[in-house]
Amino acid sequence: MSSPSNPAGSGFVPIQLVVNGQVRSGACEPRKLLVDFLREDLGLSGTHVGCEHGICGACTILIDGFAGRACTHLAVQAEGCELQTVEGLAEGGRLHPLQEAFRKHHGLQCGFCTPGMLMTALDFLRTHPSPSEEEVREAMSAVICRCTGYQGIIAAVMEVASDMAEAAAVR
């Protein structure tokens, strides 16, 4: 028998996971990509789809705290996982410092790569709180940007890293 959470009646698998701090659930075919589940089933279209082959990085999100390509995971593999998408960055109407820095340094033009860039930078700064510019360049090369030439992106990430280091120093 079909139900709202199992619309086809068969072949759909129930999924429950936490996205941006909220428990979300749905049901989809086992072959459905995680990025499509986020966008189509959960309405979180901030995560973009580019190559669908793990190359461009546009679909990068945090999966259990680590950056991952949502196009190379199946939605069913995220069962029980904790995800963060670009929608989870701003808090209480305030942009995340990375978002502010990207805006300030013109780290985006068309914005297609930006969600993946932001989530990649978030994961990178968590593990590299005091990076060199070379390390930032290498990390951000994980996401392809066809517009900006990367200069503003690198400047934005470097600025946030520097702010984090200053904040840690006065603690």
In the chain, alpha helices (H): 34-36, 97-104, 114-127, 133-140, 151-169
Q: Per rule CB under 6 A, is residue 67 in the interface with ligand FES?
A: no
- Contact call for residues 65 and 98 (beta carbons, < 8 A): no
Minimum Å distance from CB 44 to ligand FES? 15
Q: Per rule CB under 6 A, is residue 146 in the interface with ligand FES?
A: yes
Q: How many residues bind ligand FES (CB under 6 A)?
A: 23
- The amino acid at residue 151 is Q
Q: Choose, by CB under 6 A, the member of 89, 108, 118, 136 that binds ligand FES.
A: 108
* Beta-bridge partners for 79: none
Sign of the C-alpha dihedral computed for residues 65, 50, 159 and 133 taken in this order: positive
Q: Choose, by CB under 6 A, the member of 44, 58, 74, 75 that binds ligand FES.
A: 58
Q: Choose, by CB under 6 A, the member of 25, 30, 31, 51 that binds ligand FES.
A: 51
Residue in the block written with tokens 């949502």? 70
Sign of the C-alpha dihedral computed for residues 95, 99, 100 and 104 taken in this order: negative
Q: Choose, by CB under 6 A, the member of 45, 54, 77, 96 that binds ligand FES.
A: 54
Residue in the block written with tokens 């701003």? 90
Query: Which range binds ligand FES by CB under 6 A, 9-17, 36-44, 53-61, 74-82?
Result: 53-61
> Under the rule (CB under 6 A), what is the footprint of ligand FES?
49-52, 54-59, 69, 71, 108-114, 145-148
